Amino acid sequence: MPAGRPEFGDYQANGIMGAAKRMRTNPRELAAKVLDDLELDDIADSIEIAGPGFLNIRLKPSFLSEQLTDSPLLEIEESAKRVVVDYSSPNLAKEMHVGHLRSTVIGDAVARTLELAGHVVIRQNHIGDWGTAFGRLLAFLDDIGDKALQDAELRNIEALYVEASQKFESDSAFADRSRAMVLALQAHEPNAIAKWEHFMALAQEHMSDVYSRLDISLQPQDTRGESAYNAAIGPMIEDLQKKDNVLVESDGALCIFMPQFKNKDGEIQPMIVRKSDGGYLYHTTDLAALRYRQQTLFADRVLYFTDARQILHFEMLFAASRLAGIVSSDVMLEHHPFGKILGDDGKPFKSRSGENILLRDLIDEAIERANALIHQKNPYLDEEQRHTIAQTIAIGAVKYADLSKNRLHDYTFNWDEMLAFDGNTAPYLQYAYARIAGIFEKGNIDITQCTASPRLDLEVERQLAVYLLRFQEVVEQVVTDAKPHYLCSFLYELTVRFMRFYEQCPILSEEPSIKDGRLTLCRRTAETLNTGLGALGIKVLERM
Ligand code: ARG
């Protein structure tokens, strides 16, 4: 593993202590034996035994230099897997708001990173497009008249939903009509379905618009919402009924009992697959979706990105699907939860008036702020250039602020922090990239031609080289753990090392034998930043 501190070398082997314990021998003696047998002369300058039995390894400049010029940025995974990534998945009775941001941004980064590593990624946008909320909405649209649906485009779906819910609470005749609408939808009554389709088309247009502005790679064909599984649920239940000891009837409902899920009183909490009134639940649809993902999409791995409130839902879903034989044991099922976004006050991030912040408003504000910032830094840019740069910086900043934190924790949304040009932020990394691009522009050099071996005489150069060669292992970590903050930390540390190198090592003014190698370091850094940020869904800029 990478060494904890530079004075320990570049890499550290710390498995010897554990091995010595199991072999009941002295760890330092074992370390000495290992050292004797190691043949790393071509790779390492020095290997030292340290502490209770660590091996500290310092890589040879010649080895580093060779790797930098000969090895590709990334070796493509040979045993590519088919990975289904279920993310974003908003409930579309409401407009997309800040509560949908993390799943969308984190899921997209992981999907892109998996693809970069060579896996086959199948994105699934499991939108909420069915259920009682739609009864209310459609009944409400009926009430406000025919033109409403056309006009709804101009109106705010969020406001519609709020009004419909209020009316549902206060007007019992309306509540009855809403329920009747739900039944009509379930019965696939053409009139109701037509209204629903019309509404969904509109809601999906809004969604696509948010994705394209946020530069999210989900496409319309990736959407397979809850409604898509309606027809499959009946046959699935029939199948499950044929199996022994899977479905159990309890008070008229069909349930799966799993002894590991108990409530506070120690009673088994069943997973209800079909309610006594014949209705299905969120997890019923998810069981059907899993079946589809195994049988039709041939998934090797299925990843879900939702907030931590759904941890129990997924634990039960996975256990039930194994028990019921819906997925085979070699398919990996993974829920990757995340914490909340908090405001400065430490409470969930909301607007001043306490409402959900809509994503389109959040994007507008990000761009506005970035625009003002760029104007301040560089007043001579023309309007159009400034706008393009502002957009790239704004979207990068919002995404990176989220991605750079361990997703398991809550994080505080702070505009000034995320838009800062120094520290672990997207603008800092984008700025470093633009700086490198500037070197090539100034020297009028074709970046693709820079393949000379760097000499790495200075420690800052060597440190940068060591870091550049770590990209592969970091990408693999993100692929395994679905935690993009590993990649963010890496890119940040890389940039810090590049800046140190850049401050201490002249480039264009050097004689060719030094200059050319340093340009290779610049090229490789630029490529790593471009590819790494790209895997996070963030664009670089040639100029800022
Ligand atoms: N629509 C759900 C929500 O907004 C998230 C769906 C996640 N995916 C799934 N297959 N359950 O909470």
Q: Do 176 and 274 fall within a single domain?
A: no
Average pLDDT over residues 385-402: 96
Is residue 338 classed as helix, strand or coil in its secondary structure?
A: strand
Residue 126: CB within 6 Å of ligand 1?
Answer: yes
| Cα 105 to ligand 1 centre (Å) | 15
Please check whether residues 144 and 260 belong to one and the same domain. no
Separation of CA 195 and ligand 1 centre (Å): 23
Is the pLDDT higher at 126 or at 49? 126
Question: Which range of residues forms the domain containing residue 245?
Answer: 82-126+226-342
Chain center to CA of 218: 12
Taking a C-beta distance cutoff of 8 angstroms, is the pair 256, 271 a contact? yes
Q: Do both 314 and 255 map to the same domain? A: yes
Residue type, 181: M
Cα-to-centroid distance, 304 and ligand 1 (Å): 8
* pLDDT band (50, 70, 90) for residue 507: very high
Going by C-alpha positions, the residue among 226, 131, 129, 138 that lies closest to residue 178 is: 138
* 161 belongs to a structural domain: yes
* 226 pocket-lining for ligand 1 (C-beta < 6 Å): no
Distance in angstroms (rounded) separating the CA atoms of residues 529 and 398: 18
Q: What is the identity of the amino acid at 350?
A: K
Enter the DSSP assignment of 483.
-
Question: Is 155's pLDDT higher than 70?
Answer: no
Q: Mean pLDDT throughout 312-321?
A: 97
CB 258 within 8 A of CB 319: yes
If pLDDT is split at 50, 70 and 90, which confidence band does 544 have? confident
The top-scoring range by mean pLDDT among 51-60, 275-284, 480-489 is: 480-489
Query: Average pLDDT over the chain, rounded to whole?
Result: 92
Q: Looking at the domain assignment, is residue 296 inside a domain? A: yes
| Percent of the chain scoring above 90 in pLDDT | 72
The CB of 225 under 6 Å from ligand 1? The reply is no
Instruction: Check whether 71 has a pLDDT greater than 70.
Output: yes
Dist. CA 305 → ligand 1 center (Å) = 8
pLDDT, one tens digit per residue, over 201-242 is 989 999 999 999 999 999 999 999 999 999 999 999 999 999
Which residue's CA lies nearest to atom 7 of ligand 1?
89
Residues 320 and 390 reside in one and the same domain = no
pLDDT for residue 6: 72
| 309-326: average pLDDT | 96
Question: Do 215 and 269 sit in the same domain of this protein?
Answer: no
Cα separation, 477 vs 334, in Å, equals: 15
Does some domain include residue 354? no
> Looking at residues 297-320, what average pLDDT do you find?
97
Ligand 1 centroid – CA 186 distance (Å): 20
Residue at a domain's end among 342, 372, 398? 342
Give the Å distance between the CA of 273 and the centre of ligand 1.
Answer: 17
Would the pLDDT of 26 be above 90? Answer: no
Q: Is the CB of 91 under 6 A from ligand 1?
A: yes
Q: What's the one-letter identity of residue 369? A: R
Q: Tell me which of 186, 219, 252 is where a domain ends.
A: 219
| C-alpha dihedral, 374 to 380 to 383 to 387, nearest 10° | -30
End-to-end CA distance of the chain: 36
Number of domains in the chain: 4
Note whether 373 and 491 are same-domain residues.
Answer: yes
* Residue 64 included in any domain: no
Q: Tell whether the model's pLDDT for residue 28 goes beyond 70.
A: yes
Tell me the three state secondary structure of residue 128: strand
Give pLDDT, residue 154. Answer: 54
Same domain (yes/no): 193, 147? yes
Looking at residue 405, which CATH number applies to its domain? 1.10.730.10
pLDDT at 210: 96
* 489 and 371 in a common domain: yes
Ligand 1 within 6 A of CB of 289: yes
C-alpha to C-alpha distance for 129 and 492, rounded to whole angstroms: 40
Are 57 and 35 spatial neighbours (Cβ–Cβ below 8 Å)?
Answer: no
Encode 231-251 in three state secondary structure: HHHHHHHHHHHHCCCCEEEEC
Instruction: Give Cβ neighbours of residue 487 (< 8 Å, ≥ 6 apart).
Output: 109, 113, 403, 474, 475, 478, 532, 535, 536
Going by CA atoms, what residue is nearest to atom 11 of ligand 1? 286
Within this chain, do residues 364 and 325 fall inside the same structural domain, yes or no? no
CA distance linking residue 470 with residue 409, whole number of Å: 26
Give the alpha-carbon dihedral of 521, 525, 527, 528, to 10 degrees: 130
Q: Phi/psi at 121 (nearest 5 deg)?
A: -105, 130
Would you state the pLDDT for residue 124?
98
Task: State if residue 65 touches ligand 1 by the CB under 6 angstroms criterion.
Answer: no
pLDDT at 178: 93
Percent of the chain residues topping a pLDDT of 70: 98
CA distance 334 to 87: 12
Same domain, 374 and 433: yes
pLDDT tens per residue, range 332-344: 999 999 999 999 8
Q: How far apart are CA 195 and CA 149, in angstroms?
A: 8
The alpha carbon of 451 and the centre of ligand 1 are apart by a number of angstroms equal to 47
Question: If you search the block for the tokens 């033109």, which residue do you land on?
Answer: 147
Beta strands at 341-342 and 411-412: parallel, antiparallel or unpaired? parallel
Question: Residue 16: which CATH number?
Answer: 3.30.1360.70
Domain for residue 544, yes or no? no
- Which of 86, 88, 89 to mutate to test ligand 1, by most ligand atoms within 8 A of the CB atom? 89
Whether the CB of 283 sits within 6 Å of ligand 1 = no
Residues 388 and 436 in one domain: yes
Q: Does some domain include residue 478?
A: yes
- What's the rounded mean pLDDT across residues 491-510? 96
Contacts of residue 164, defined as CB under 8 A and 6 or more positions apart, other chains included, come to: 136, 137, 139, 140, 178
How far does residue 34's CA lie from ligand 1's centre (Å)?
Answer: 51
Q: How far apart are CA 41 and CA 18, in angstroms?
A: 25
The finding on whether 131 has its CB within 6 A of some atom of ligand 1 is no
Among protein residues, the one whose CA lies closest to atom 8 of ligand 1? 126
- Residue 543 in any domain: the answer is no
- Token pair, residue 464, equals 């940068």
- Separation of alpha carbons 544 and 526, rounded Å: 15
Surface-to-core class of residue 465, CB atoms within 10 Å of its CB (0-12 exposed, 13-18 middle, 19+ buried): buried
pLDDT at 213: 97
Residue 266 lies in a domain: yes
Tokens of 483: 């935690």
Instruction: Tell me which of 186, 203, 219 is where a domain ends.
Output: 219
Same domain, 208 and 231: no
**Is any atom of ligand 1 closer than 6 Å to the C-beta of 128?**
yes
- Whether the CB of 223 sits within 6 Å of ligand 1: no
> Minimum mean pLDDT among 77-81, 96-100, 249-253, 536-540: which range?
77-81
Distance from C-alpha of 355 to C-alpha of 23, rounded to nearest angstrom: 62
